[in-house]
Structure 1
């Protein structure tokens, strides 16, 4: 496409809320991590895998268990204006305040870890804080 020679009406939308097509036979629970599986481009719950890109936290319960791929779209919150408290992993993967501003990794749809688990986990997001309730993550 050539450079513009006149004004253009550029579409705009908020980056805080997005929707993604869901994998069939899938449920994503409210308040849990939703991720795109790079193998097929469809949204699934967060899990231990190296093929995921976390896209945010589900706004509500989305049930595509009786549907086909893409029959339902999951709506997620994300962005630098929003931090989400996820469960902290344990033992050697426990995240501490010393890990703030580092990447954290997906263990399951509600838990993040300090390490990639020997290159078995995808990046969840950036650690922004840690408290007694869990890990504050920016997706």
Structure 2
């Protein structure tokens, strides 16, 4: 319904989330954090169907098989990750392009769609913001 008067809207800063962690999942501080198909946080990995959310602000190890037994703090922003190699290496000419998750600390230029092996296909990490000696800066 459209407003007919002023509203004191609730607000968040938008740079930190607290998410429930999937069962038996290990997320290290600084890891790429994704959301799986069930809506739980998992560490970044080569897989389809993951949604990159941000970077783990702390370690979260869910020793329980119960999803949601613990939470992880996740920062949103622009972070430096390791660069892939070979045909998937990202260079400065790729700034502005999208990159893809290899693991919880590495990004690649392609999504692996040229491989017939579904297990080698990758989910989107984010947009390449910069490439320098610190790594590939990714806006997640």
Normalised to the residue count of structure 2, the TM-score between the two structures is 0.90
- How do 1:72-83 residues align onto structure 2 when only pairs under 5 Å count? 72-79=70-77, 83=78
**Residue 45 of structure 1 corresponds to which residue in structure 2?**
43
Query: What is the distance in 2 between the residues matched to 1:58 and 1:49?
Result: 19
Kindly indicate whether residue 66 of structure 2 is the aligned counterpart of residue 92 of structure 1.
no
Q: For residue 20 of structure 1, report the CA deviation from its aligned partner.
A: 1.3
Query: What is the distance in 1 between the residues matched to 2:84 and 2:128?
Result: 13
Greater CA drift, 105-114 or 129-138: 129-138
Query: What is the distance in 1 between the residues matched to 2:105 and 2:17?
Result: 19
- Gap regions ≥5 residues in structure 1: none
| 1:109 equivalent among 101, 104, 118 | 104
Root mean square deviation of aligned Cα: 1.2
Q: For residue 7 of structure 1, report the CA deviation from its aligned partner.
A: 2.1
**Residue 118 of structure 2 corresponds to which residue in structure 1?**
none
SS of residue paired to 2:93: helix
**Residue 3 of structure 2 corresponds to which residue in structure 1?**
4
SS of residue paired to 1:85: strand
Query: What is the distance in 1 between the residues matched to 2:19 and 2:96?
Result: 27
Aligned residues: 134
Greater CA drift, 101-110 or 67-76: 67-76
- Gap regions ≥5 residues in structure 2: 115-120
Instruction: Flag the 1:89–1:8 CA change in 2: closer, same or farther, 3 A.
Output: same
**Residue 124 of structure 2 corresponds to which residue in structure 1?**
123
**Residue 66 of structure 1 corresponds to which residue in structure 2?**
64
